[in-house]
Chains A and B, each alone.
Chain A
């Protein structure tokens, strides 16, 4: 019951809940926006109406997710002031500036051109529509950039110093380009892309498996697979770079990720823990399986360490993260999914090269298609667990090494926070169920393959007349 009268704990829980829930939607839309550019570009280039119909079909799922993303993003914009007033006041000069940039540069662009992207097919020329799609994707990903810059600054504050508890900025560009920024942004950028590609690929695989429009969805499946050849391995590499940065800048977080209680000194091989049962109270692992020497290879590519891996016992309990089990397993789930994705990509590419994905052959690949359906929701899990590692692992700090989370919460009655927590929590539970219901309904209903090319200014905007000249494309009657 003590928990319900603790404003800080309730505020943290509310932030975690709203952030975790909000994340589910933009993860898909920021990545899918890029896919929509590709698919619309293919339409403009090949004049094949199938690509146009793909754009129309996927944008249905896009807009459903986008709407929930906008709705659940709103509490995020106000929550810093509502629940973290001392924090807002203390770091507002920089942190607020960045959030202001995000809304003016990114949100508005995305929101304004979304209308044209969704409803403007017959109101603007195809080129303007294509530019609108590009601007929507640009806005969405610019927003990722600013959020990751702001969050990276919390992890590795730079560009100024705290004077009497208030952060005074000396160099804004240095603060924006703080040590974690580039890597964290790239890791998240590719995370959203990879997640949405596996969602699109998984849904396409479902149709192929069900033999519904198998040929149509083999197209999107291959577009996804082609892009993933580069992205899946790159994402593992970026993840590795991020972990190396954590090793240098946030050793306590690394110790938590590895459930390493005792320091591993320089010049010795470091074992890598594969599985463990961390015991926070006893400050040790009750049980674990280790791979001898593997951690020194993972961190430094050497048999022995040049830099010590500090153990959690180096810090007073008040100065290091808790919930070690959560951080440890979140990290393993995230990395495991990243590796599984790369493996699935490689197997699929091999089948592609063996000609097993062409024509009618793809519907014979039942196990491969099942693998993709299984993979569809995993990206979300990887993103959420990754953020749990990032933000639970940096505790007890809100601004790493500078400002503690306990000192950052608004001094408001716990009842107030409980009210909003229960309100938002119950609403989000309903939202999740309803959104999944409608998303599955869109998928079960399937694409509209009858939809004609858009008509702009009384003329078919693209496609029809050109398709007539292309002897090898599908007959016009089939496209009507």
Chain B
């Protein structure tokens, strides 16, 4: 193959990874706040929680659409096969995200706000659950034939490991949501979320350790990948970095710092995400279909890159601007 035929799919793998990463990070805290809102004790608290997301949830969710659209264009085979394999988790996620979105608008106009607070929380939970199952089953591998078409069954995505991945992702979202609320709120409400952040740190850590340990134990392919030089150093480094970051996060929570918990959580997510990326690469449909097999025609990749690649910095810039405009603490909307 020409060098370009290696290079372009790799570039697109990276871009899609970036979109997915931004989605998980940003909608991660939206969904986390949504799940946490189920435990909020008063209408005033729930109102602050939802207001903290009012101006950003839509843009954050759009990263998922960006990922979906770009995956369709850059790796049509992966878009088709993965969604076929994950039909039910994807439907659960979509239903959850619909509930979450409409609850915002309905609550705004409703007299009985509690109903829509509950659908908001339940929607957020379902979306996180669907995503967790999807992540878990992609990670475990999808049954395909030689052409890369899905050959598995309707319930393939449901295994005890994907359940654990789903639970861990939910914990991770709660953690990132708590850290976000520490930044955006004050007083008693902030205090509550120092507590939820600390608990979620430990539960996320437990899940992450379990997944990290069982992956090489269960999969020969992962073993072969992990324990050969130079990969062994990278994969040795990731858990180490992770432990350092968890320690820093717990310290910052203990010291009641306001900005740093979110930073450490973001970095912790980044490290885990990079780790996952290394395990999956160069596959796009694990365990066997590579990015080179699933890629669209080279001309498509070039054409898309020339427009989307050019737009990425601009899109990032105006997203940052949006956060800058709405910086600062959220106060109750009486």
- Asked if A104 contacts B66 (CB within 8 A), the reply is yes
- Minimum CB–CB distance from A128 to chain B (whole Å) comes to 9
B196 interface residue, CB < 8 Å from A? no
**Please, what's the 1-or-0 string for B93-134, where 1 marks a CB less than 8 Å from any CB in chain A?**
011011001101110111000000000000000000000000
Contact count band on B:
35 or more
Chain B binding site: helix, strand, loop or mixed by DSSP?
helix
B30 interface residue, CB < 8 Å from A? no
- Asked if A112 contacts B76 (CB within 8 A), the reply is no
A-B contact count (CB 8 A): 217
Residue in A71, A91, A113 whose CB lies within 8 Å of B98: A71
- Minimum CB–CB distance from B180 to chain A (whole Å) comes to 16
- Minimum CB–CB distance from B10 to chain A (whole Å) comes to 17
| Cα separation A457 to B8 with both chains bound (whole Å) | 48
> CB-CB < 8 A to B150: which residues of A?
85
Instruction: Report which residue of A91, A112, A416, A419 has the largest number of chain B beta carbons within 10 angstroms of its beta carbon.
Output: A112
B299 interface residue, CB < 8 Å from A? yes
Q: Decide: A81 near B79, CB < 8 A? Known: A88-B72, A94-B300.
A: yes
- Asked if A100 contacts B72 (CB within 8 A), the reply is yes
Residue in A89, A108, A411 whose CB lies within 8 Å of B62: A108
Residue in B84, B109, B296 whose CB lies within 8 Å of A96: B296
| Cα separation A101 to B62 with both chains bound (whole Å) | 13
Closest to B87 in A: A416
> CB-CB < 8 A to B54: which residues of A?
115, 118-119
- Minimum CB–CB distance from B161 to chain A (whole Å) comes to 22
Residue in A88, A96, A123, A434 whose CB lies within 8 Å of B326: A123
- Asked if A70 contacts B61 (CB within 8 A), the reply is yes
- Minimum CB–CB distance from A280 to chain B (whole Å) comes to 33
**Please, what's the 1-or-0 string for A437-466, where 1 marks a CB less than 8 Å from any CB in chain B?**
010011000000000000000000000000
| Cα separation A274 to B134 with both chains bound (whole Å) | 53
**Please, what's the 1-or-0 string for B311-334, where 1 marks a CB less than 8 Å from any CB in chain A?**
110010011011001100000000
> CB-CB < 8 A to B104: which residues of A?
67
- Asked if A104 contacts B87 (CB within 8 A), the reply is no
| Cα separation A169 to B322 with both chains bound (whole Å) | 37
> CB-CB < 8 A to A441: which residues of B?
109
Residue in A95, A115, A120 whose CB lies within 8 Å of B58: A115
**Please, what's the 1-or-0 string for A91-110, where 1 marks a CB less than 8 Å from any CB in chain B?**
11111111111111101110
Chain A binding site: helix, strand, loop or mixed by DSSP?
helix
Q: Decide: A169 near B326, CB < 8 A? Known: A96-B72, A419-B91.
A: no
A412 interface residue, CB < 8 Å from B? yes
> CB-CB < 8 A to B76: which residues of A?
88-89, 91-93, 96
A303 interface residue, CB < 8 Å from B? no
A209 interface residue, CB < 8 Å from B? no
| Cα separation A107 to B304 with both chains bound (whole Å) | 16
Beyond known contacts A81-B68, A115-B325: 20 more, CB 8 A cutoff: A64-B109, A66-B105, A67-B105, A72-B98, A74-B65, A77-B69, A80-B79, A92-B73, A96-B79, A97-B73, A104-B308, A104-B312, A104-B315, A112-B62, A112-B319, A115-B59, A169-B299, A410-B80, A419-B91, A424-B91
Q: Show 9 residue pairs from A and B whose CB-CB distance is below 8 angstroms, ordered by the A residue.
A: A70-B58, A82-B84, A88-B80, A100-B308, A101-B304, A103-B70, A112-B59, A115-B326, A118-B54
5 closest A-B pairs by beta carbon, nearest first, are: A92-B76, A115-B55, A81-B83, A96-B72, A96-B73
